[in-house]
Structure 1
Amino acid sequence: MKKLALVFLAGISFASAKAQFQFGAKGGLNFATVSGSDAGDVSTRVNINLGVYARLPLAEKVSLQPELVYSNQGAGFDKGSIALNYLNIPILLRYYAGSGFAIFTGPQVGFLLGAHYKYNGNSLNAKDSYNSGDFAWAVGLAYKIPSTKLGIDARYNFGIANVEDRAHTGMTGSVRNDVFQLGVTYTLFSTGR
């Protein structure tokens, strides 16, 4: 088993030596809502996401892209909204499809930073009504603008975990985060070819 692990690590090291490691910043818009049996009649809430990413080469056209992202999510409803602020950590497998395009997918773990209901101009802390963690699956498409350090990133984060704290709310159903993100990436640092 140790020999197999060493061969695997040596393969990654060889691929990394020939490929490009990148570190960058990202930001954009969230088009967020919630789904599930306890979600009720909700609408899309538009807000921001900001973060950093690294691209670690695994093979010629494949890289691992971990990210650290502040994401303002939630949903709108009649006369108000719920703001759910997360620190999300997606771990994405990225495939370079050619002509500047890449596709990616992977799991995302989120940590709840804050939750606030806004209704008729009033704000109420609602953090106790939500679980401290979240789990989602991301799928997306990226495009690197030629001869620049800029890229465009579009993804959908499918909520998998129930984010509602049933012990606090007394509800028996579920609420899941669903977020479409559209943003810009900027490569701050790059090595290799």
Structure 2
Amino acid sequence: MKNLCMAVVITASSLFSVTAQNTNPTRDVQFGVKGGVNFSTITGDNFDDLDSRTSFNAGLVAEIPITERFSIQPEVFYSGQGFDIKEIDQDNVFDTDQNIEYQLDYIQVPILAKFYLVEGLSIEAGPQFGFKINEEIDSQPNSDGGDTDISNENSSVKDFETSITGGLSYKFTNGFFISGRYTYGLTNLFDDDSILKNVDAKNAVAQVGLGFMF
């Protein structure tokens, strides 16, 4: 709950500051909802045997125009991240498709600069701030059960991360939009006082989705 409150405060502050600087009255501030699919993993030292975890994202978005082609776009959304650990058959030949999921779920708060290349089509990039809200291991991802929660006391993963994110989106005249985005972590995943402190590991997430601006 504390992390969620921090995320809301950051986004609200961003909305207030950029709205006050809106110099383009011909375009109104818009608010909307979004959702999509995540393909997440971690990059760094010796993580070649990991598979990506498939999950989802869902949340809120705003677009504050600064000029005719340039906007600031803050967002707040839930993001299911983490990775899959491959389970290999006894002969070590192929993946059994019974992978173990290491689930790292976040409230993500990106603050994006958005530039329209042509009407509807835009590129967007900026910093993103992540607040970990859940960490667990799912040993039976294809069925119910198998979930093991990891408490903060037993976790080696940081509660907060910073990332850089960027992608493309297209907004239709009826308010619907589609987007594709890639996010790469700038913060090392593991706590500085854990046994994994010297392991280079960062979150990496590819997202595709759609939304609607009101």
**TM-score bin, normalised by smaller chain:** 0.7 to 0.9
1:132 and 2:159 aligned: yes
1:71 and 2:95 aligned: no
Pairing of 1:1-16 with structure 2 (within 5 A): 12-13=21-22, 15-16=23-24
Pairing of 1:11-160 with structure 2 (within 5 A): 12-13=21-22, 15-37=23-45, 39=47, 41-78=49-86, 79-119=99-139, 122-126=146-150, 127=152, 128-145=155-172, 147-160=173-186
Task: Say whether the 8 Å CA contact 1:16–1:56 is kept in structure 2.
Answer: no
Q: Runs of 4+ in structure 1 displaced over 3 angstroms?
A: 168-171
Higher RCO, 1 or 2 (CA under 8 Å, sep at least 6)?
1
Query: In structure 2, the residue corresponding to 1:115 is in which secondary structure?
Result: strand
- Structure 2 vs 1, CA of residues 133 and 108 (structure 1 numbering), >3 Å: closer, same or farther? same
- Structure 2 vs 1, CA of residues 170 and 30 (structure 1 numbering), >3 Å: closer, same or farther? closer
* Alpha-carbon distance in structure 1 between the residues aligned to 2:25 and 2:120: 21
Unaligned runs of 5+ in 2: 1-17, 87-98
Aligned-residue identity in percent: 31
Following superposition, the deviation at residue 74 of structure 1 comes to 0.5
Unaligned runs of 5+ in 1: 1-8, 189-193
The one-letter amino acid paired with 1:158 is: Y
Query: In structure 2, the residue corresponding to 1:138 is in which secondary structure?
Result: strand
- How many pairs align? 177
Task: Say whether the 8 Å CA contact 1:38–1:173 is kept in structure 2.
Answer: no
* Alpha-carbon distance in structure 1 between the residues aligned to 2:103 and 2:149: 10
| Higher strand residue share | 1
The one-letter amino acid paired with 1:139 is: G
Instruction: Compute the RMSD of aligned alpha carbons.
Output: 2.0
* Alpha-carbon distance in structure 2 between the residues aligned to 1:178 and 1:129: 18
TM-score (norm: length of structure 2): 0.76
